[in-house]
Structure formats: structure tokens, C-alpha cells
Structure 1
Amino acid sequence: MGTSSPVVTVDTIVPMARPIGAGDELDTNYMDSLCKDHFLQRQYRKVDGGVLWSRNERNLDCTVTFQTHSILQRFMLHFDLLQLDCNDHLYVYDGAHATAPPKADLSCRNTKQQVGALFTRSNFVTLKYVTDNWGTDANGFRLVITAVKDPKHGCKEFRCKQREFCVSADLTCDGVDHCADGSDEDTAVLCPETTTELNTLNTTATVDTTSAANITADSGGSGASGTWVAIGAGGVVLAAIVAVVAACCACRHRANNQRTRLHLQEMASSNGGGGSGSAGGEGATRLPGNPPPPAGPCGAARAGRLRRAA
């Protein structure tokens, strides 16, 4: 597999985060952070429960130890995820040290269904995690650790439904199945606030979706109205242009008619029109090639008829 990187070796008693109560965000403890922190104090830190998460750490040789609050308690461990590489091993020891033969040696051959729940006899548990320098993003585990007490010793906290172990009440309704039967996360009975919050979130999401739909519809209506306004304005402009063109055509037609009448009047005058035959003959301008009309009443009458026709 090529040249391997230096192996990180840590042997510590690790403090866990405080128990997560209802409404708090789960504080997950990652193996790479726990194993690479060389400044953790070497002292026993008592825990009610927590989550350990491995994310395909490489070249680790790490040992961590946890202790319960009371000597009457012991640890229950179960996996939400277990998918190790065949060269990686997670050793579980029933005690404060990784010296005796392990209670479990977990590797790629093990599944979370096969392992089920593990219980210690003492109030300590020690985990040793050894990995090589190869793996995929799918490799790792998510381990739930819970301090439990037999109810025969008295149970003033929360009692799990199926196994009837007592666990800290602070571990209920935190989003983690500490009892391994789901009873500490029963939203219908134990966690009404969680149900209410979920309903509130769903209602808010529905309102937001409806508002978004209304906004979209309003936007669509506004767009359609704007389109009709633009079409109407275009129609008005087109009608105005047509009216102007029609007016111009009418003016030109009227001017042509006036010029035609004037031309006919000029032709009538030039062809003998006037008040009398002599006066008209003297005052009118005759066009070349037009002989004067015959003198007499007929000629005058003919000119008059021409003027009336014009």
C-alpha cells in the first residue's frame, strides 16, 4: 500500500460533553478530535451518555476511557452505524484499561444488527481504535454510549420501556436513542414539546409555501396586467398614426380638387368667358391655337354655360 504515515498513538481518559437535554443541539464527539488532542487531562470524567463518531480516520492507534457517575451503573453501547474497513479494528474493553482480552473485536465482518447492544460489568468502558492508511468515506461508525442502572437499585430518573434500565432524564428527547428501543424519544407520550415544535415547523413551512405561491400568482397577475397595458398603449399610438395619415390624405384630396376647379375656371375664362362679348374679347387672354368664338348671342350664351359648368 506504499509508504505509510506516522501512526498517532493516544492513551487518555477522555471527558465527554455534558448530557444533552431536551431542546439542546446534540454535541457529537468525533474520534479524530478526541484522539489527536494531546492536552486532555488524564482524569476520570463521569458521563451519563453521548455519541462517538468515526469518519474514516487513518493511521490511528487511539485509546479512550469513560466512567459512569455511580458504581451501581454500567455502560450500554449500541451502534447507529458500523461499517469498518477490514484492516481497521475497534476493541471494546470492560474496564478502565486496554489490557485484558477485549469484550469485542469489531472489524469489517461485523454489522450493527449482528453486534446489537453491548453491556459492561463494571462502571468503566475503554475503546481502542486502530486504523491503517487506507479507507473510503463510507468507512466509520457512530456509537451511542449510555450509563444505565438496574431498576432494582431504585430508579428516580427515566426507565426504558423494553429493557427497563434506568437512564438519566437529561437524555430524553435529545434526538438520540439511548435506550436502544426508542422509548426515551417517544414524541407522542414523552416529548410533546418536540411534537409541538415539529407541528409549528410544518405549519410555518406550509404558510411560507402558501405565501410564496400567492406572491408568484400576484407577480403573474401584475405581469399580465402590464402586458395588457402595453398592448392598449400600442393600440392607441397606432390609431393616432392612422388618424394622422387619414387627415393628411384628406387634406391632399381637398387641395387637388381645389386646384382642378381653379384650372377649369382658367380654361373657361381663356375660351371666351366674360360679362359681354366685346369686353370678354378685349380683356381675356386667349391661348394660342384657339380661334375666337362667333360673335352674337349664341357665343355669349355658350360661354355662360361653360362658366356654370365650372
Structure 2
Amino acid sequence: MSPKCRGPGPPLVLLCAMGLLFYCTPTEAEKTKRYSMQSLCKNHFLQNLYRKIDGALLWSQNERNLECVITFQTHSILQRFMLRFDFLQLDCNDHLYIFDGAHAVGTHKFDLSCKNTKQNLGAMFTRTNYVTLKYVTDAWGTDSNGFKLVITAVKDPKHACTEFRCTLREFCIATELVCDGINHCADGSDESSTTLCQNNDTGTIMGMEVTWFVVLLISTLLVLLVMIVAVSICICRRGWHSGRGIQQQNASYSLQQMYGSNGAMKQAMGGIGGGGGGSTTTLPRATGGSPTSGGGGGATGQLSGNWCRPAGPLGFLSTLVRARLYCSRAK
């Protein structure tokens, strides 16, 4: 009988590990989204979609021959956008148009070019929960031309705030924007909050963020499980092949050869065979109960018909037991 090895195969192990990964990995809210104008202005179907954000950082550096339109939307109609430049140095032939709405139509709210700087602009606000940017550049520029624009969805102080409230203007912003290295409140209060930023830094394990630590741990366990399953399959297959080889060897090893190699059995069977010397042993077959005679016309003897019967439930072991019983009866 071949050994049976049962257990979960590799597909089941992979599914369990993937489920554990998605179940155990903590969900972390997305912080400030970072966009480059070069990637945003590519001509593809996502360009015309409204991008819902809590906060974003847009940067531009020496883009040439651009003419693209990007629209951002807040998650709530109670919010509006605050725009503030960390860096602004445009070429005189480049223009950044800012529209207070979901489309680049009508009169723009701001037309920014080389005459504008971040100092004389300060913070800009929309009245709606949409802002649309239209960026147009010519074929000339340098690496010093461009901008860094911080866009933040804010809620006015008259509305209830359940997240983070800025100190100076008392705007309410998303908690995920706090301590992310970007000044969203314009007064720096979201980055200078000692208590919040310290609590945010403690969310690490062995110098790694909790999310990446859990991913690494689950990946290691997954690799170990796959290795264990592979080794178990190899062991089971090796045992199955060895058991099958032993059965084939026993089946090819005939009963006549076993008894032909035993001197004592030769002598005992020789007495049954008659006076022809008895140097070889031939096991007779019982044919309808008729006696079987040996060489030279010696004495005759009748053998049991068990030799013609197939092996019993014990297989080849049953045949060996019958042979021993026959030898003891012959003596």
C-alpha cells in the first residue's frame, strides 16, 4: 500500500496567507498627494477626471510646450480650497490660470506669470469646493523656472471641526495632513504641534513603519509555509516510490526460487519426488486432486490445492505462511 499524505496544498496556503495579510495590515489614511505637472499634463483619459483630495503638493520644473487643465475637488461641500506657493518663479511667456470652479471657462480668478512671487500672493482661497488649474508654457525655459503649489481643503471656523484646527486662522484640516512635512495651515501649526508629531513618530517598529513591518512579517511567514509544504510533498513522494519498489521486488521474487535455495527444503521435497536423486525441487500443481509423481517412478504424494489459490488479504505474506505449513506437514 502506498503512503497517503494529506494536507493543504500550496494554493490553499497562499490564499490563507493573503487573507491574513489583508486582514492584519493596518489601514493608514493617505497623506498629502504629490503630483508633478509633467505627469499630470500627459494626454490620457484620466486628465479630465476630478481628483478628490484633502491636500496636494504640485511641483513644476522647466516644462515646455504644455497646455493642460487639472481640476481638484474637496470631499465635502462644506470645504473649500486654500492655495499657497512654497516656490514660484515662472517664465514671462508661461501662465498659470486659476479658476474658482470645476471648469476652465469664464473669467479666471488669478493669472500668474513672471511678475508674481510667493511673497506678494500669500494664501489664496476659493469660494466653491472646486479649483481648476490651466498651465500654459512655451518652448523655452530653464531648470530654475517652475513652482511648488500647496493645495489644502479647509473648513471655515463657523463649522464644527472633528479633526485638526489650525492656530492662526482656525481653519479645520484633515488629521492625515498633520506632521507630513508640508505646511498646510499657512502658519505652520500643523507641523509644530509637538504632541501630535511625537505620537506620529512612535508608530514604528524596529525603525520601520507599522504597515511595512507587518507586510515583511507576513511575507516571511508565507515563504516559510511554502517551504514546509514543498518539503512535505517531497518526503511523501519519496516514501511512495520506495514502497512501490519493494512491492514490485517481492512480486518478482518467486516462491520456487526461495525454496530452491534452501538445502533442507530440497531434501524434504526430494523424498516426495522419488528415487531420481532429488537434487532439484519442483513444486507440483494440484490438478483436480490427482497425485503428482516425481522423476524415476518413485513414491507419489498429493499436495494441497492452496498453491493454486490467489493471495489472501495479507498479500504475499499469506503465501509464505501456507508454504511453512506445507513443509511442516511434509515432515
Q: Give the shorter-chain TM-score range.
A: 0.5 to 0.7
Equivalent residue in structure 1 for 2:92, among 76, 86, 90: 86
Aligned to 1:127: 133
Distance 1:151 1:187, change over 3 A: closer
What is the rounded CA distance, in whole Å, between the counterparts of 1:156 and 1:137 in structure 2?
42
Aligned to 1:176: 182
Structure 2 letter corresponding to 1:180: A
The answer (yes or no) to whether the contact 2:49–2:71 under 8 Å persists in 1 is: no
Post-superposition offset of 1:100: 1.6
Establish whether residue 166 from structure 1 lines up as the match of residue 140 from structure 2.
Answer: no
Establish whether residue 153 from structure 1 lines up as the match of residue 146 from structure 2.
Answer: no
Post-superposition offset of 1:19: 6.6
What is the rounded CA distance, in whole Å, between the counterparts of 1:41 and 1:128 in structure 2?
12
User: C-alpha offsets along residues 18-76 of structure 1, whole Å, 9 cap, x if unaligned?
Assistant: 9744xxxx652000101014131644332111101111100011110000011110000
What is the rounded CA distance, in whole Å, between the counterparts of 1:149 and 1:97 in structure 2?
22
The answer (yes or no) to whether the contact 1:19–1:171 under 8 Å persists in 2 is: no
The structure having more radius of gyration, on CA atoms, is: 1
User: C-alpha offsets along residues 185-225 of structure 1, whole Å, 9 cap, x if unaligned?
Assistant: 1153331146779xx99xxxxxxxxxxxxxxxxxxxxxxxx
Runs of 4+ in 1 over 6 A off after TM superposition: 194-197
The answer (yes or no) to whether the contact 2:40–2:47 under 8 Å persists in 1 is: no
Structure 1 letter corresponding to 2:123: A
Structure 1 letter corresponding to 2:62: N
Aligned to 1:107: 113
The answer (yes or no) to whether the contact 1:79–1:141 under 8 Å persists in 2 is: yes
Aligned to 2:122: 116
Distance 1:116 1:195, change over 3 A: same
Gaps in structure 1 of 5+ consecutive residues:
1-17, 202-310
What is the rounded CA distance, in whole Å, between the counterparts of 1:61 and 1:41 in structure 2?
12
Distance 1:111 1:33, change over 3 A: same
Post-superposition offset of 1:153: 1.4
What is the rounded CA distance, in whole Å, between the counterparts of 1:69 and 1:183 in structure 2?
23
Q: Would you say how many aligned residue pairs link Structure 1 and Structure 2?
A: 179
Structure 2 letter corresponding to 1:134: W
Gaps in structure 2 of 5+ consecutive residues:
1-27, 208-331
What is the rounded CA distance, in whole Å, between the counterparts of 1:194 and 1:123 in structure 2?
29
User: C-alpha offsets along residues 124-175 of structure 1, whole Å, 9 cap, x if unaligned?
Assistant: 0000000000011000000000000012111001001101000000100111
Aligned to 1:39: 45
* Farther-moved stretch of structure 1 (188-197 vs 165-174): 188-197
Establish whether residue 58 from structure 1 lines up as the match of residue 70 from structure 2.
Answer: no
Equivalent residue in structure 1 for 2:36, among 6, 10, 30: 30
SS in 1 for 2:72: strand
The answer (yes or no) to whether the contact 1:51–1:145 under 8 Å persists in 2 is: yes
Aligned to 1:190: 196
RMSD after superposition: 2.3
Aligned to 1:67: 73
The answer (yes or no) to whether the contact 1:188–1:195 under 8 Å persists in 2 is: no
What is the rounded CA distance, in whole Å, between the counterparts of 1:196 and 1:169 in structure 2?
16
